[in-house]
Structure 1
Amino acid sequence: MTGPTPRPRRHRGEEGETLIEVLVAVVLIGVAFVTILGGIGTAIVSSVTQQKVTTADSVVRSAAEKVVGDPYVSCARGYETPPPPAGYTVTVEVEYWDGVGAFGRPCPTADTGVQKVTLTVRSTGPRPVRDVTLEVVKRESMPS
């Protein structure tokens, strides 16, 4: 019965790791570093995107509150909205009830007193996000 073959003894000054072991360690550390750095980059981009969407949502809701609070304007081409923060634009589109069953343009000859106002907020800049849209129906107040 023979046992395992003994390893040759190292001579003085030959202790330590081999070049292969050092290279494997460096590659593993590099892979871990790149993975962590990629995760941090993704988290930053997601955070900025979510912040822009949240701001756009806040801007469109503010604009809708202003439109709802303003008096009804017959055959209005648009309504005033609060100025958006830098990097955002607000567009206002007005459609008119035709009295039969649909909203459309242009304003009918006899305004039916119902309008659909579509507010759209768009972020501008190097990384724009999706548009945020909100529709508001305005009615002419009936006399008491």
Structure 2
Amino acid sequence: MTGPARPARRHRGEEGETLIEVLVAVVLMGVAFVTIFGGMGTAIISSVAQQKVTGADSVIRSAAEKVVGAPYVSCAGGYGTPTPPAGYTVTVEIEYWDGVGAFGPSCPTSDTGIQKVTLTVHATGPHPVRDATLEVVKRESMPS
């Protein structure tokens, strides 16, 4: 009577992983790399977008300071378009108080001395962000 078969003994240096163990390890490493690089890409894109939003806020506040500091211009003129840094565009829209209760795009027959200046800053580039808008109400200074 012979006993149960014994597995063949491995000699030193013949130990190692099976093909399935290697494939599982490679797949897990691939998933980890894709997750890490995807997260890094998302972080970079959101960082660029936040920089543009912060830059647009700075540009619009600077433009508003120029409008506030400029002397009042009646219906005949405007406050110009401030020169923004590269990557931004600024538009200026002026509405005039009609003296009754509303602002309108055209100057009333007599200037009431109140204007609403709307500044809009748009950040240009491949990743669009929301435009920044700021309204400034400008009054003609009354003589003392």
| RMSD of aligned alpha carbons | 1.9
C-alpha distance in 2, partners of 1:108/1:61? 29
SS of match in other structure, 1:109: coil
Which residue is equivalent to 2:122? 122
C-alpha distance in 1, partners of 2:5/2:141? 100
C-alpha distance in 2, partners of 1:64/1:84? 12
Structure 1 residues 129 and 29, CA gap change in structure 2 (3 angstroms): same
Structure 1: give runs of 5+ residues left out of the alignment. Answer: none
- TM-aligned CA deviation for residue 10 of structure 1: 4.6
C-alpha distance in 1, partners of 2:24/2:97? 72
TM-score by length of 1: 0.90
Which residue is equivalent to 1:11? 10
Q: Percent identity?
A: 82
Structure 1 residues 71 and 9, CA gap change in structure 2 (3 angstroms): same
Which residue is equivalent to 1:138? 138
Deviations 1:55-79 (A, max 9, x none): 0000000000000000101115531
Which residue is equivalent to 1:31? 31
Structure 1 residues 141 and 19, CA gap change in structure 2 (3 angstroms): same
C-alpha distance in 2, partners of 1:11/1:111? 101
- TM-aligned CA deviation for residue 107 of structure 1: 0.6
C-alpha distance in 2, partners of 1:90/1:6? 87
